[in-house]
């Protein structure tokens, strides 16, 4: 979804950032702005964010548009900066290179998709949301996956899934004498399993029904985290 108009307000008064014909023009460079974000002219949400994030989001949308037309290794920083209407220096202020932008974009989208579903009762919804976020960005993800930057996809999945599983493990470990190191180990163990399955799904073109995958993963996981915690707890006695 393209950003059409963002009405922003900061301490000195209102400013407007418009995206027309795939470019964004900023009327002010102040950070820490607060206001009403409108997409296609409709109020979307109230948001605290800085102009830095607005620039990153514009670069992300530009990258995704270019990936519909050509492979990642043929997209240049100049393509993106000309499209968004910023300088190369501004790009490097936010990202080391295009691959850094790719990784930020993946993590940003997945984090938004997770929506705080990191508890024992909601982790399945959180995992489903991660699958949905990946599928919604299918051209982008597959293009990146089939380049030498596949590790960007792996890093974002590892980070997001670890965050999801860690929340569950911490919740189930409350009131036990399990150590932080053991909590992290359990989260890492399931993280590698989950991400391996997700990468296999991506590698096969995302054609398999992810709801069935999540269902099978949930059945496999059911009770196993509690058992792992119990085993470590008994060992410490």
Q: What is the mean pLDDT of residues 49-65?
A: 82
Residue closest to 122 by CA, chosen among 218, 2, 199: 218
pLDDT band at 237 (very low <50, low <70, confident <90, very high): low
Q: What is the mean pLDDT of residues 105-111?
A: 81
What is the value of pTM for the model shown? 0.68
In the predicted structure, residue 151 carries a pLDDT above the cut 90: no
State the chain's mean pLDDT as an integer.
77
pLDDT value at residue 148: 59
pLDDT band at 89 (very low <50, low <70, confident <90, very high): very high
In the predicted structure, residue 103 carries a pLDDT above the cut 90: no
pLDDT value at residue 159: 86
**What confidence tens digit (pLDDT) does each residue in 13-40 have?**
333 333 333 333 333 333 333 344 444 4
pLDDT value at residue 61: 92
Q: What is the mean pLDDT of residues 40-67?
A: 68
Q: What is the mean pLDDT of residues 192-201?
A: 93
**What confidence tens digit (pLDDT) does each residue in 63-88 have?**
999 988 888 889 999 999 999 999 99
Domains, the chain: 5-95 (1.10.10.60), 100-236 (1.10.357.10)
Q: What is the mean pLDDT of residues 216-224?
A: 87
pLDDT value at residue 21: 34
């Amino acid at each position: 979804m393209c950003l059409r108009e963002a009405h922003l307000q900061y301490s000195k008064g209102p400013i407007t950032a418009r995206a027309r014909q795939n470019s964004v023009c900023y009327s002010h460079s102040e950070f820490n702005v607060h206001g009403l974000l409108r997409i296609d002219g409709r109020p979307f949400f109230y948001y605290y964010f800085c102009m830095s994030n607005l620039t990153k989001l514009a670069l992300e949308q530009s990258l995704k548009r270019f990936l519909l037309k050509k492979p990642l290794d043929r997209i240049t920083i100049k393509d993106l900066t000309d499209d968004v209407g910023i300088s190369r220096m501004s790009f490097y202020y936010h990202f080391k290179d295009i691959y850094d932008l790719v990784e930020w974009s993946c993590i940003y989208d997945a984090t938004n998709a997770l929506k705080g579903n990191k508890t024992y009762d909601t982790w399945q919804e959180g995992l489903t949301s991660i699958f949905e976020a990946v599928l919604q960005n299918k051209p982008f993800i597959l293009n990146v996956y089939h380049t030498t930057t596949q590790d960007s996809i792996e890093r974002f999945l590892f980070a997001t899934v670890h965050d999801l599983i860690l929340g569950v493990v911490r919740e189930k470990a409350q009131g036990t004498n399990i150590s932080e190191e053991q909590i992290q180990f359990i989260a890492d163990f399931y993280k590698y399993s989950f991400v391996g399955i997700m990468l296999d799904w991506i590698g096969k073109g995302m054609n398999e029904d992810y709801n069935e995958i999540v269902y099978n993963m949930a059945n496999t996981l059911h009770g196993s985290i509690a058992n792992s915690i119990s085993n470590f707890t008994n060992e410490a006695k």
